[in-house]
Chains A and B, each alone.
Chain A
Amino acid sequence: MPKHLRQQLMHRLQMPESWVIFFIMGIIMMNFPFMDIFNKASTVLGFPLMFLYLFIGWAMSILVIYLFTIAVGNSDDKHRETNQP
């Protein structure tokens, strides 16, 4: 089942639509009004809220790109003969 799920995820990530969605999501989350939610001088476990938001969000987006590239790499391996870019 996890394997099946993983394949499903990889398949979805290969679609250009997914890229666009994440790209737009990134832009939205880096702008008003999303930023306003975290634009507070409070701290969580001693860390400033904005600092946490930006850096965790950043790490997440790197992870997403990483998953994307793995998905693309998969498809490249599979269709190397038929689907030369």
Chain B
Amino acid sequence: MKAGLVLAAFISLCYTALIFLIALYAHHRKETGRSIIANPYVYSLSIAVYCTTWTFYGSVGRAATIGIDFVLIYLGPTLTAFSWFFVLRRIVRISKENNITSIADFISLRYGKSLWLGALVTLIAILGIMPYIALQIKAVSTSFYLISGFRGESIHLPRGGAEVTLPSGLLLAVILSVFSVIFGARRLVSSERHEGLIAAVAFESLVKLVSLLGVGLFVTYQLFDGFSDIFTRFHKMQPELFARLFTLGSAVNDPDYISSFSMLFMSMGAIMLLPRQFHVMVIENSDESHITKAMWLFPAYLFLINLFVMPIALGGILATGSAVGADFFVINIPLVSGHDGIAMLAFLGGLSAAAGMVMVEAVAISTMLLNHIFMPVIVRFTPQAWFPLLLINLKRLGIFLVIFLGYFYYRIVGDTFMLVNMGLISFSAATQFLPAMLGGLYWRRGNKAGAITGILLGSLTWFYTLLLPSFIRSGWIGADLLASGPFGIGLLKPTALFGLSGMDLWSHSLFWSMLFNIGGYITCSILLRQDEREYDQLRKFTGMFDLSRGYRHAETKRLSKPVTITQFVNLMSKFIGETEARGAIFAYIGDREIDAVGNVSEFELPNLKRFTEKTLAGSVGAAAAGAIVDSFLSDMGSRMESVYDIFSNVKTSLDQSREALFVRLKASEIINRTLDLQIIMDDLLNLLLKEFKLDAVIIQLRTADGDLTVRSYQGTNRRPINQKHWFMESKPYCDMALVDRKAHFVNDTSLAAGTVALERTIGEGIVSCAHIPIFREGEPSLGIMSVFSKSIPGLFTEEFLGLLSSLAGQLAQAVTIVREMEARERERIQKEQAQLEHARVLRDMEIAQQIQMSLLPGSAPELFGIDMAGRCISAAHVGGDYYDFFQYNDHSVDLLIADVSGHSVGAALIMSEVRTLLHAQANSALNASTILQTLNNQLYEDLTRAELFITMFYAKYNSATGRLTYANAGHNQPLVRRTGESSCIRLDAEGLIMGVKKSVVFEERGIELLKGDVVLFYTDGVNEAMNPQGELFGTERICEHLGRVTHLSVTEIIDSFYTTVTEFTESDTLQDDISLVVLKIH
């Protein structure tokens, strides 16, 4: 009838190998990046790890003995599934963001990474799960005996003469442990998903569903004739039992809804809170979107797997005649009816149910054990290179520990309880996490003290009212306690605490433990405050959905002493191995800015620290990771400290806070109010002093030669700036800021003292300072704004520096504008002065001209028989033309015309000198050539020095004789127009220009002038006048014109010449001085 031991063992082995291959395949697929488990179906099947041998065997047992209320264990999760869309998704999201490794990790992270809480949760999980694992071992062992036909606790193998005795439960425990280690503890990083394990679990879920459906169909449709056939037959055979099994409570008249409610409540919590459920649903979740599908797939699975439980239970009773051994009807019915194949299928289903549960549970709990019990001890030691090896082996040890604890519980309590009743002890333990978990997610006030108190009180009650009685019942502990209470105090009886009786064991325990748990949690949460670490976490958990609305967490912490990336990497490699650590940090740095030395900016450091914690948390849990990093930092002499919140009550954020806006507004008011740069700078600095509680603020501006000079200095104990002033120590920072146009700051002067000497600054009490370049975008720096604080280290946050830089930018704008205005003003004054100068010169010139004009003879002398006139019109204000008459007596007169080269004042001065000299000689009776010779002699030195020349024509006329004698020093030859002649006589005489040679001999010539002769003396302004066509007026035209005007009076002749020349040049202004002297004989 029964399959032999060998066959049973062989099939089990083959099945185990198959599972192993599936896991291996899944792992391989994951390595190659084509995961087979990343879909909602596998996810739903893996959640079905909820259905253990309890479901597989125990449900039938419960259905056959107590009745239909077994269904409540599965209705609870179905109801909970309604909430998954909100609760589970939120938990998954938080867990993924924080590399959560287990439910203990999750709860301890929420309450400020509390080490104690993590340890407490772990301890309860281990104790609570003990009966559950024992249940699996018991179920599999029993089913193995059934299927192999062996009865007894151990298997005897003949070996080398002596018999080896193997307790099959122990064997099973060892096999399961090894399996769990292989699937679940290959690597340390436990936030990573175990694809092999999940694939195996999902496959096993499929097997147990198929198996139970197979047995159900076999019983219902093979042995019987469908559902109603079983129900009808059973109703006929055992109507009382029928009534009992299909109603709640023990009897129709005494319905027990409390018990059903307890089961519903516990199962609703257990589906999320059992460590293995949390593991498969949260840690192993590969995509949030799978949850939505699992929400109905998983309840559907539960529905299907339970559909045939009742028929099997009834069929079993019908077939065997009683409910004895109902826990194993699933195997026994096919065996009794002789269908070994079906029995074997049922056995494999049960094996699957047990193996899947134990493996996941062991992995989940061992992770908790490592992270929350072992790690807090380990972190007290200095990290060593062999730590990763130690940790992974501790985890493996944890797996063995968990499974063997279950085994020992099975050995102690084993046969006294039915399967379901053992499982409910575990459910009750898991329910203790419910208040802390839900409160943590949705109640902002829930705090660490509350969570610890609640869980501790709840679990103590659980231990006392549920776990302890289970030991007592097995006879391991004396029964006196149960019967009469401790020390004979009846009120403290574990199963009737404070006299509460009439409830079933689980409801009683649930009521008291939940009362103390929730009560403790709420009371302590309300009475006590959250500490800062908890407050930080709070945002992550309860403010999750604000984050998605673009809220950016602003940094409120800083590291008091900077730590390099390398130091963080070294720390991480000690716990997770060098390769992992480097991989992680490279992924982190990515596109972040690092400086030349390979460091991130000071503002990035807290993020780096958080990243390190998160990475470590993936392996050792959040609480331990926090402790590791904290102790590492304190070894380095660094710690996290609060950033001084410069904007008082409003938390700094990326958006401008109100205070920052106010300061900006004020600053722009100051800058726009005046154009006095000094006032602007002083006011701006005073604004900074007042608003930001700074102690000294200094503005330096660059002078024209590029040096910095202090332009404004506000703040406490001011002293004149000199070389010995403490401020001079900051010069390196200023120079740097000037060049790279970035703000340089020291958040703790005592730490910066190593690189830059700041003794005097520190001596002055300065703890932090910043130097902000004043510049406009794209232009060189104009100066430096330095701010100092004596009270607040770490004052300079990114936001604050941003604000200061923007103020410096505004100041730069003001400085540029003021400087431009000053430059314009200067230019204007210069121009005015030039104009003034010009006007003065002009006036001087006019005066000079007037003087010069007055030097020329006012009118020609009157002489009998001749008319004379002379005139000079200067082109410039002063000129070099000169003419004069000297009359000695009634009949003799001297005429001269001269032209000093150039039109400068120098020429005018020379001219006046000539006049003086000539006037001195005028009375002498010297002839013309002698006069010129003497004059040349006298003037030579002056002319050479002034680099000037003089041309001069000197004539002497005697009206008595009518003879004109003359000499010429290179001047234009005067013209004589004689009546009746068509051409002019040129008065020519040899002679060099004056000022060329010292002694020159001038030729003396003479001419008899006749009546009607007109003599014209002129300067080169007349013959060299040029018309627009470039033609010169020329001597010919002078002569012609002279011929036409001889009949006119002398002044009219002069006038006509001016008119003609002006007409010829077609211009109002003269190109050169024009001087004319006319002599007319009549």
Q: Which of A30, A39, A40, A47 contacts B79 (CB 8 A)?
A: A30
**Nearest CB of A to B438, in Å:** 14
Given A19-B86, A31-B264, A47-B227, verify A85-B247 contact (CB < 8 Å): no
List which B275-323 residues lie within 8 A (CB) of chain A. Answer: 288, 292-293, 295-296, 299-300, 303, 307, 310
* Cβ B75 vs Cβ A51 within 8 A: no
Q: Which of A26, A68, A84 contacts B548 (CB 8 A)?
A: A84
Q: Which of A22, A36, A65 contacts B295 (CB 8 A)?
A: A65
Given A41-B246, A43-B231, verify A68-B295 contact (CB < 8 Å): yes
* Cβ A26 vs Cβ B82 within 8 A: yes
* Cβ B261 vs Cβ A55 within 8 A: no
Given A39-B247, A65-B81, verify A46-B292 contact (CB < 8 Å): no
Q: In this assembly, does A62 line the interface, its C-beta being within 8 Å of a C-beta of chain B?
A: yes
Contacts of B74 in A (CB 8 A): 58
Q: In this assembly, does B647 line the interface, its C-beta being within 8 Å of a C-beta of chain A?
A: no
CA distance A41 to B196 in the complex (A): 48
Q: Which of B235, B242, B264, B300 contacts A62 (CB 8 A)?
A: B300
* Cβ A65 vs Cβ B246 within 8 A: no
* Cβ A47 vs Cβ B85 within 8 A: no
Given A41-B242, A43-B231, verify A85-B548 contact (CB < 8 Å): yes
Q: In this assembly, does A69 line the interface, its C-beta being within 8 Å of a C-beta of chain B?
A: yes
* Cβ B228 vs Cβ A47 within 8 A: yes
* Cβ A59 vs Cβ B246 within 8 A: no
CA distance A63 to B235 in the complex (A): 31
List which A34-64 residues lie within 8 A (CB) of chain B. Answer: 35-36, 39-41, 43, 45-51, 54-55, 58-59, 61-62
List which B499-523 residues lie within 8 A (CB) of chain A. Answer: none
Q: In this assembly, does A16 line the interface, its C-beta being within 8 Å of a C-beta of chain B?
A: yes
CA distance A69 to B229 in the complex (A): 37
**Nearest CB of A to B822, in Å:** 56
Looking at B72, B288, B300, which has the most chain A CB atoms within 10 Å of its CB?
Answer: B300
CA distance A15 to B249 in the complex (A): 38
Contact code string B50-92 (vs A, CB < 8 Å = 1, else 0) = 0000000000000000001001101100110111011001000
CA distance A84 to B547 in the complex (A): 12
* Cβ A58 vs Cβ B75 within 8 A: yes
* Cβ A61 vs Cβ B243 within 8 A: no
CA distance A50 to B247 in the complex (A): 7
**Nearest CB of A to B252, in Å:** 6
CA distance A84 to B227 in the complex (A): 48
Looking at B89, B228, B247, B307, which has the most chain A CB atoms within 10 Å of its CB?
Answer: B247
CA distance A49 to B246 in the complex (A): 8
Contacts of A72 in B (CB 8 A): 85, 292
Contacts of B296 in A (CB 8 A): 62, 65-66, 68-69
Contacts of B242 in A (CB 8 A): 41, 48
Q: Which of A27, A35, A61 contacts B260 (CB 8 A)?
A: A35
* Cβ A59 vs Cβ B79 within 8 A: no
CA distance A49 to B235 in the complex (A): 13
Given A19-B82, A46-B228, verify A30-B72 contact (CB < 8 Å): yes
**Nearest CB of A to B297, in Å:** 9
Contacts of A55 in B (CB 8 A): 71, 303, 307
Given A41-B243, A69-B292, verify A50-B68 contact (CB < 8 Å): yes
A63 to chain B: closest residue by CB? B296
* Cβ A16 vs Cβ B86 within 8 A: yes
Contacts of B478 in A (CB 8 A): none
Contacts of B299 in A (CB 8 A): 58, 61-62, 65
B300 to chain A: closest residue by CB? A62
CA distance A75 to B798 in the complex (A): 41
Contacts of A26 in B (CB 8 A): 78-79, 82
B231 to chain A: closest residue by CB? A46
Given A36-B255, A39-B255, A68-B85, verify A27-B295 contact (CB < 8 Å): no
Contacts of A62 in B (CB 8 A): 78, 296, 299-300, 303
Q: In this assembly, does B257 line the interface, its C-beta being within 8 Å of a C-beta of chain A?
A: yes
A33 to chain B: closest residue by CB? B257
List which B528-582 residues lie within 8 A (CB) of chain A. Answer: 548
Contacts of B235 in A (CB 8 A): 43
Contacts of A16 in B (CB 8 A): 86
Q: In this assembly, does B944 line the interface, its C-beta being within 8 Å of a C-beta of chain A?
A: no
* Cβ A35 vs Cβ B246 within 8 A: no
Contact code string B200-244 (vs A, CB < 8 Å = 1, else 0) = 000000000000000000000000000110011001000000110
Contacts of A43 in B (CB 8 A): 231, 235
CA distance A46 to B232 in the complex (A): 6
CA distance A16 to B82 in the complex (A): 11
B239 to chain A: closest residue by CB? A41
Q: In this assembly, does B758 line the interface, its C-beta being within 8 Å of a C-beta of chain A?
A: no
Q: In this assembly, does B248 line the interface, its C-beta being within 8 Å of a C-beta of chain A?
A: yes
CA distance A22 to B86 in the complex (A): 14
* Cβ B85 vs Cβ A61 within 8 A: no
10 interchain pairs (CB within 8 A)? A22-B82, A26-B79, A39-B252, A41-B247, A58-B71, A58-B74, A61-B299, A65-B296, A72-B85, A72-B292
Q: A35-B248, A58-B78, A58-B303 are in contact. List 6 more A-B contacts (CB 8 A).
A: A26-B78, A39-B248, A39-B252, A41-B243, A46-B228, A69-B292
- Which 5 pairs across A and B sit closest by C-beta, in order of nearness? A41-B243, A46-B228, A48-B246, A32-B257, A23-B82
